[in-house]
Structure 1
Amino acid sequence: MARDAHDREDLLRDARGLSPRVELVVGGASEAFTLFAGFRGESLSLYFGQDRVYHFNDRGELRRAYLDGVLLKAEQGKLVAMSRERSASAVAFVSRELPAEEVRRLLDELKDRLRAFSEALAAGAYELVGEEPLGSGVIERLVGWLRANEDAIRTAVSPRVG
């Protein structure tokens, strides 16, 4: 997630803490989107364009997300939304715990997104933009992660990686 309102940095080049990592264009011409994926150990980060970012821990649990300008983080198995409120002199984060129904909808949408991405990968409906390091097998690793986790996404206890 970028720290300012500008387009995010070149994650394939700059996200050295995520290795291996890959950038893909997924889908056909009319519904194509750019996807960045990277691993930190066994923890996965997925960027569906700039406004849909999901970070998972090593158990496949959602620990952080960035959705349409709202930062979400896991706290004690619940999701907390943090929104920026700007004043003339400062920027403050305002937190609110998401109701269970909202969390369920968010997780259901995420599962649908992961399932569709998994199907696109299986069908070869993607174009490789780049991979770091080259020859790392990151797509195969990503396919394995999706198979193991796409239907079992839960909220983590903590926003931390491990």
Structure 2
Amino acid sequence: MALHEQDREDLMREATALFPRAEFQVELPEAPLFWGQKKNGHFAFYFGSDPVYQFDQNAELRRAFIDGKIYRTQGSTLARLTRVHNSAESILQRYDLTETELKACLQAMTQRFQQLDLVWLDPQKVQMVQSLAECSDLDLRNLIHKQIRQVLQHSQQLAPRIRGKR
């Protein structure tokens, strides 16, 4: 996940680990939408440059970028990583979300995907801008819709812990 804001053109060109990938204009406040999938089945949704959600192959949340902050799964909660700069280095300070904060974060994500699910099948509200895929546009849309539904089914589950420096 990029730590700096990128425009959609850059994601289509530079997100080479994500194949297939596609950009859509969606009738939501967070439009445009970028989606991509890795070879291992992990996939990501970029609602503009923020928020970004990354999932494992089971549609369990691994990482997120929300309101300029980086989050990563700890298995039972999310860790918010805040970049702190000094004259010599840049470090990430970790804060594990409380149960209440985690519920609020996951609920906001769920609402975003519920909105996306409601408009996804309407070609007037979701228009493909460009894609890189080896399948038809219809098959790609169906794959993405399946993943939206999987996210909603697993919206309260986090992927296993991503190990970081201790």
- Scaled by the length of structure 2, what TM-score is found? 0.85
Q: State the Cα RMSD in Å.
A: 2.0
State the 1:134 CA deviation: 5.8
Contact 1:51/1:69, CA 8 A, preserved across alignment: yes
The structure 1 segments of at least 4 consecutive aligned residues displaced by more than 6 Å after TM superposition are: none
Question: Out of 146, 149, 161, which is 1:147 matched to?
Answer: 149
3-state SS, counterpart of residue 32 of structure 2: strand
120-129 vs 93-102, which moves further: 120-129
Higher strand share: 1
Q: Give unpaired runs (5+ residues) of structure 2.
A: none
After superposition, what is the alpha-carbon deviation per residue over 1:59-80, rounded to whole angstroms, capped at 9, x for unaligned?
Answer: 1100101112111001132210
After superposition, what is the alpha-carbon deviation per residue over 1:18-75, rounded to whole angstroms, capped at 9, x for unaligned?
Answer: 11111011006xx361110011142211111112011000111001011121110011
44-53 vs 145-154, which moves further: 145-154
- Scaled by the length of structure 1, what TM-score is found? 0.87
Amino acid corresponding to residue 139 of structure 1 in structure 2:
R
Q: Partner of 1:157 in structure 2?
A: 160
Q: For residues 125-140 of structure 1, what are the structure 2 equivalents within 5 Å? A: 125-133=125-133, 135-136=135-136, 137-140=139-142
3-state SS, counterpart of residue 6 of structure 2: coil
Q: Give unpaired runs (5+ residues) of structure 1.
A: none
Distance 1:27 1:58, change over 3 A: same
Matched pairs, number: 157
3-state SS, counterpart of residue 150 of structure 1: helix
